[in-house]
Structures are given as structure tokens and as C-alpha cells.
Structure 1
């Protein structure tokens, strides 16, 4: 029998892009969901940052560490960016997450905001599907010192500067030399991120149950330099050989400027993010709905 949920944390969308009427709308939706959870017999708490930025009161507010220690479910209301941020922070706590979509695409916040009550009620009672997602753990090492350490649920991206020429990257996998790649950048993507930047760079779609990473060059100098799928047990190392104003991005976290000789190592995190979906959820349904994938098929 799957777990029923009684202590639920609410996370909302409140960042700088959410202002004025959008912020008021976000606050009203959060309050509506919180009241619904309370009627279902749940003890409801708010993420502290969500409470502060939306001004929503009437429920206890906890920080991320307290939520990870005390709650048995996280409910994320927003878009995929909101879910990525919460997922990274909750990965080490193993807190399962449900996403209600208040954004645009909604690949991982997959419950529509309209009529969410009918979908959410049975999930709170233990009727759901479990979907565990792998996470990348990346470090930037400079002069033998780690200057940046982050998790990424979607991807790790090394990019050239906006006005500079191509980057040259020395690429190794498990300590073995792969190539010196000249390109605008390089993406290391999880299956979750395979529908994001990697896809636009020509990478393949990967089912989330596959244990692998996509390594996809961005606008490579050599056209035979194609995306490759690697085992998720691999450790990928990228060294900046040449190129000015390069940056590294870990989902939405950034190291603004890389230096010649910097080494970025990417490996599988010991943690995973657990998403919960309604019964009957299907990854291929998501592709068809969100990407209009294989339209015209029977």
C-alpha cells in the first residue's frame, strides 16, 4: 500500500518575473490549494520564501531544512523552473514532489491548475505513480580548489561569451581522453533535461527511466561532432583550453566567468528526485501534449 500524505509543504512561484496581478494570482492559487489540503485533513505548511514573497499567511512557514525533516510531501505550484529549484534542494531529503502547472510547458509540473482537486485528492490517499529522476552533481575546480559545487536536475551547460569566439574544451570520460572540441559550448543533460536545451542542440529524447546522460555540443566547428549518450555511471570532465568569457550553468544556477584551465567535473549524484504522478500517467502522453510529438500518428 502506498503512503497517504498528511504533512504537506507548499512551494509557489514568486520570483522577480512574478509581479503585480501575476503575484496576486499566484497568492490566490496558493491559498486555494492550501485550504483544499486542509479540508482533506492535511497539516499544511508554507515554504518560508514563498510565504515572505507572496505575503500569504495563516499557515506555518518553514525553511527548506525544516520541510525536509518534517514533511512527507511537497506540492509545487508554478512552472518547470520552480520545480527544478525545489527538486534540487529536496533531493538530499528524499521528499516526494507533486507539480501543479501554473507555468507554460509543464513537463514536470504536470497537473493542470484547472480542476486540480479531482486529480490531487486520490493522490493524497495513496493512488499515484512514482517517478524517480537522476540528478547531476557538478564541480568547478580552479588551481586545485573547488570554486563552485551544485546539483542539476536538467543539465550542466558550458557556454562561450556573448561576443567572443568559439570555446575549445578538452573532454574526458572516466579519465579517458575523448576529444578537444571547438564549439559554442557543450551540454551534459539528464533524461529529464533531454526535452530542454539538449533537444534544441540536436540531442535525442531520453525516457526518464534510462540510466544515461546526453553529451551534446552547441554549434560545433566540426559537423561530425554529434551528441552521444553515455552511461550515468560515467564521470565527465571538461577543461577550458581556450576562449574568453565562458560561463557554466547548472539548471538556473550560474558561474558567470570561467578561466583557462578551469575543470568542470560532472557525475551522478547519490540522490534522486522523486516525482509523483496521477495514476495512469504516461511519459508519451506528456510528449504528445507538450511537444505536439508525432502528431498525425494513430
Structure 2
């Protein structure tokens, strides 16, 4: 009888431990799912994850805000370990989400079969060279899509380096370069060179991927050439630049202009600083000068 009593007690204890463990797992999954949702929200909105201090981070504050409807979440934050709130885990979750998005994009492109490559290199704010890669494709309804694939850090801007990065990105998306039907770059030597340019190096593997000068870049070059011979546009450019510098970079004068516009009931868009490189977006600066002419 005593032996049976001990066995029964062991069974009851094991069942209670199993029940507690199952409940603990369920609660952990639930809270980790909330963390994933927070990271997904911040990533979708392009918001910074971390603050100056961890206590001020957007992730933690968002979690606290959601805890107002569920106090059990606060108990999770009070844990010392296994909270899945570290920077490394957040970055890993974000990377998993990014890879899932790329998988879905790659699947859509494969369904469309054929695609074109758009690429350009630039220097970012940290003075590092990076390659921007996009893929353009047409769906079954003949609707065009242009998908941003990513920024790729490159050690140099040699054609061989850029070609290697493009091939690697296409391969990782499980796309066949033989299905490429177009290449779109600027007219730089490393991209459009007639011998060892990026376009020429890709053609042997994708003979139907005809290279094209970027339409936006070509339009800007054409407008620049067309305006060089126009004294009227040259003078307008100088006047617009000086007016913007006179007002936009001095808050006192900006405030005075706003007051004058209010006094004469002039509703017009604010002055726009003129773009130093792209002629095709300078029209908005000229337009704002015309609309604010009376106040100016």
C-alpha cells in the first residue's frame, strides 16, 4: 500500500510539472510572438529600434504600451534572462523577416519568368561604396513591377566586382541569369564600357539582356545640355539659388516672409532649395518662386 501511495504521488507530481511546463511554454510563445509583432511594426514603418538608452528604445516602449491591455507582458519584461529582447536577437528576427520578403519577391519574379536588372553604385553617408540593385518584371496581367532587392557593400567600383555582386544576388534569389531580358545602368565606363563594362560581362550569360542607358539619367543629361545655351534659364537658376540661400538658411528672414504672406493672405507653398545636380526636379523651385513672387 505504501509503495502504491508513493507511485501515485510521483504520477501526480509529474503531471503537475508537465502541466506547468506546458503553460510556461505557451506563455513564452505568446510573448515572443508579441516581440516579433513589435519588430515587424517598427521595420515596416522604418523607425529606429534603439534609443540613446535601452529604456528609451522604441521596441521596449512599444512593448510597455501594449502591456496596458495585458499586464502579463510586464511580468515577462521583469525576467532576468530568456526575454528575447537583446539587440542580437532583434537583429536576427529582423533579418529573418527581410529574407522572407525576398523569398516572396523571388517567387513572384520566377512566376513571371523574365526580368531586367537595374543597378547603380553610390557612396553612402559613412563614405562606403554600395551597390543598389533592383529587378523589374512583368506579371501575367502585363502589369510592370520594380522590386528593390537591397544595398550591397562593395570594396571598389570595378566592373568585375559589380558583376560578381549582381550574379551572387541573382543566384541567391534562385533566378536564372539566362532569363534576364534587359540591363539598365548609367553611362559610366565601369557600367557601360564597350569592352569590360558590367553590361558586356553579363551578355555572354544572358545574350538577350540588352543594355539600356537609365532613362532618368539620360533625361537629366539632355535637359542640362538644353539649358546651357539659354541665358533666361541660367539667370533664373542664379536668382532662385540666391533667394533660397537668402531666406531658407536664416530663420529670421524665413519668419519675416511668412509674416508678409499672412498679411497679404497669400497661400503658397514654401520655397524649395534648388537641387544642385538634377535639372528635372528644379522646376518645383522655380514654381515656388513664382507663387511667392508678391511676398518676395
Q: Which TM bucket (shorter chain)?
A: under 0.3
Relative to its length, the structure with more strand (as a share) is 1
Q: Higher relative contact order at CA 8 Å, sep ≥6: structure 1 or structure 2?
A: 1
Larger proportion of helix: 2
Q: TM-score, normalised by structure 2?
A: 0.23
If the length of structure 1 is used for normalisation, what is the TM-score? 0.23
